[in-house]
Chain A
Amino acid sequence: MNPVNYLYLAALLFTIGATGVLIRRNAIVVFMCVELMLNACNLAFVAFSRMHGNLDGQVIAFFTMVVAAAEVVVGLAIIVSLFRSRHSASVDDASLMKL
């Protein structure tokens, strides 16, 4: 098997995540799809790291994980406070800026 297949898998997962962000309206599920996209990127980093024979890709993937953890903490806090004020986790309901 060609290790480039890992890249194809990462591309597929990223695409599924991006489609999910566009389709879903529940803020939590949208957030999960973003996490899926981040994970796909990590897989691509790890696969590249193996192809090139150095560990830089893995270090970048590690930093991506840290940033994703921080992002999840803040994002879920935003979702919770949004839910508190509007009693709904739908991204369509937050349309105060719409004309």
Chain B
Amino acid sequence: MPRWKLVDDLLLDSEALRELSEVVKLQSDWVKHRASRMFIDPFLVETKLKLMDREQLAKAFLRSWRPVISTEQLTFRRLKEAYDYWAALPPLLERKRELMTQAEVEVKHLNLEELIKMRLLSREEFERSLNEMYEELVNASRGGPINYWGFVIKDSFEESALRAYMASFLVSQGRAEIFIDPIQEEIFIKPAKAEDKKMGRSIVVAFNYSIWEKELERIKHERRRAS
């Protein structure tokens, strides 16, 4: 400033400053106008958001925020609904008994009598199927033992399970015998001899889906080799 000697220099500089400030003002007005019309460059907003600190952002929001004032209340309708629910709710002791009964239900095995009782099976139908199976066993074994899985396993898991279930009945009725070769760990089945009939015995043979898959594969393999 002390070096300025001429008034003209001072005037020129102030004029330049005024023009510059005018440009900045116009730029600011342009941005404001764009913002007010909601036509604003998203990248400009993004850049500004990145430059502002938390306090500046919160302040900017507070200036444009007018929160809704409302109060929650219990309406007569809701009160009536609550009363109706309460009136229809059984006493705790009753509900407790219901809950206890539900908790006591367990998974258990159904025996033949229960299946017949539930009308899922008729005694006559079951007896007929058992007789057919016994005939099949007599014909297949010709008196000698045959492989248990070869006799029971069929192409469908459901049918195989049913046949295993029925075979267990033949054994428990004493009409068939099951024995296990302890060395080969192979299970055999054969029709019971006349003198052994009515002497049922019990052997546990596990059967599930993976056993069915494994045995079916083995049987098919054996059949292929034989042919």
Are chains A and B native binding partners rather than an unrelated pairing? no
Residues of A that sit less than 8 Å from B by CB? none
